[in-house]
Structure 1
Amino acid sequence: MATMLAAVTEQVGPPEVIKVREVPRPRVRDGWSLVRVRGFGLNRSELFTRQGHSPSVVFPRIQGIECVGEVVEATVGAPPVGTTVAAVMGEMGRAFDGGYAEYALLPNDLLIPIATELPWDVLAALPETYLTAFGSLQALAVTEGGTLLVRGGSSSVGMAALSLATGQNLRTIATT
């Protein structure tokens, strides 16, 4: 049986409950594909999950609500093998194992193909941040020429919101 390394959160608790260990490499099944994880972000929600604030999560669990990597085994409806992808949220690291591993078995509908030459470490910092900012801008429905105030403009989500807003020809104001 093929194995991989993963950071496994053994139980609710302090950071010490996360252990790097060898686990079975996931096997593909219908509607899911295997991604070789090349990078992932760390998110506050994962801290809350580890602390026990996500009561539906069953431990042990490989956390990680986002990752970037390459499709290594694809099923029908997935991007082809070799495609660079990002995957974000959709119960990653909660209802099923997430990105804190060498490989992640992910639902095909979470895989976002990305054409990029960015290095993996840079790419890994973008998905959750930019999707959060994008969703916020969509919810606000600010129209072209409008003004956007971003409190926390020096945060990762704040900088992403400012970048996206500038691309939408919005006047931006930020605080830190």
Structure 2
Amino acid sequence: MKAVVVYEAGGAQQLVYTDVPRPTIKEGRSLVKVRGFGINHSEIFTRQGLSPSVKIPRILGIECVGTVEETTEPERLPVGRRVVSIMGEMGRAFDGSYAEYVLIPNAQIYPVDTDLPWAELAAIQETYYTAFCSLENLRISAEHSVLVHGGASGVGVAALRLLRGKYPDMRIDGITRRADMRSSFLAEGYTDIVIDRDGRLETERSYDRILELIDPAVIKDSMKHLCRFGILCSTGQLGGKWYLEQFDPIIDLAEDSYLTSFYSGNVREGRLNDLIDYIDRYRVRIRPEKIFSLSEIIDAHRYLESRTGFGKVVIVI
């Protein structure tokens, strides 16, 4: 089969499109024919050698959509069934979805009932699921104002689109480091932008809810812009920092505020189908920003890393 293998950590050129043996089915796992997957920042970090638990060579890819090709659980996962898979150490502890086929533990293969095109279904997994569950944890109502830190990221754009579908008139601001991105943010559906200047937000405004996708690098400053009784959901680590250091919850939490989080490794089959139902009910726009083929994986990584990257990038096989 065709696959993309990282033999040595480094830049995008380390993604080698090549022929490798197709995985052999094993007890407790099923073989999925990959139809598409999203590119994630965590895969870029791994490719750069910033994931110490990952051993290379490795086929990356922490998510996929596709169909069951061979199965060891025929009742739940019959051959031909549409499925998705997210996380569970795919692409990290074992070879992932940057390939035509991937062998996945049955427990992390989730049947889905949808006729969405593969490109749109690939855009949902990981990105929209992470955004959807984060918004659930934020307990958002129509009267709330929302700030998205990491507004141009795939998860940030997904959160915006999910909210706009249900709350078309809600104030939703997005944070960016570039003032020249304002027109792109407004065209996507943000109410306005807030400038991040070296980890500090250039605004006096406070918000009822903050989706924090950059922390732990900036979470203390974000807390200063949370209204009383507000909620901040710590989800992403786009700032490249894994741990929150020198944080005093008594001093650094905003007055009478709440701090929650979401980890996309917490996957539930019911929640995935709830997300798909939500997208259908509120007519959420989910088409990815860019679509590449497997052989164009280097271009896909470079686009996501570029300053022009905006929204979700997917591979369709």
- Please, what TM-score do these two structures have when normalized by structure 1? 0.86
Aligned partner letter, 1:74 = T
SS of alignment partner, residue 120 of structure 2 = helix
Aligned to 2:27: 30
Partner amino acid, structure 2, of 1:123: L
Does structure 2 retain, via aligned residues, the 8 Å contact 1:5–1:21? yes
Code of the residue aligned with 2:64 in structure 1: it is: C
The offset of 1:149, in angstroms, is 3.0
Say if 2:63 is the partner of 1:66. yes
- Counterpart for residue 89 of structure 2: 91
1:27 is paired with a residue of what secondary structure?
coil
State the superposition RMSD in angstroms: 2.2
Distance 1:27 1:44 in 2: 29
Question: 1:37 Cα shift?
Answer: 0.4
Partner of 1:113: 111
Verify: 1:54 aligned to 2:84, yes or no: no
3-state DSSP of counterpart to 1:126: helix
Count of residue correspondences: 173
Aligned residues: percent identity? 53
> In the alignment, which residue of structure 1 is the partner of 2:13?
16
Question: What residue is the counterpart of 1:164 in the other structure?
Answer: 162
Q: In the alignment, is residue 133 of structure 1 matched against residue 109 of structure 2?
A: no
Letter matched to residue 114 of structure 2: T
Amino acid at match of 1:105: L
Describe the superposition over 1:11-45 as per-residue Cα deviations: whole angstroms up to 9, x where unpaired.
21222222112111111212211000011111111
Whole-Å separation in 2 of the counterparts to 1:25 and 1:31? 17
Structure 1 CA distance for aligned equivalents of residues 155 and 36 of structure 2: 18
CA contact (8 A) 1:166 1:172 kept: no
Structure 2 unaligned residues grouped into runs of 5+: 175-184, 186-317
Instruction: Measure the CA separation in 2 of the matches of 1:150 and 1:94.
Output: 28
TM-score calculated relative to the size of structure 2? 0.50
| 1:88 to partner: Cα distance | 1.0
C-alpha distance after superposition, 1:118-144 (max 9, x if no partner): 221222122011121023123323357
Q: What is the rounded CA distance, in whole Å, between the counterparts of 1:147 and 1:135 in structure 2?
A: 18
Other-structure match for 1:101: 99
Q: What is the alpha-carbon distance in structure 2 between the residues aligned to residue 144 and residue 96 of structure 1? A: 42
2-side partners of 1:80 and 1:103: how far apart? Answer: 16
Larger Rg: 2
Q: Secondary structure at the match of 1:46?
A: helix
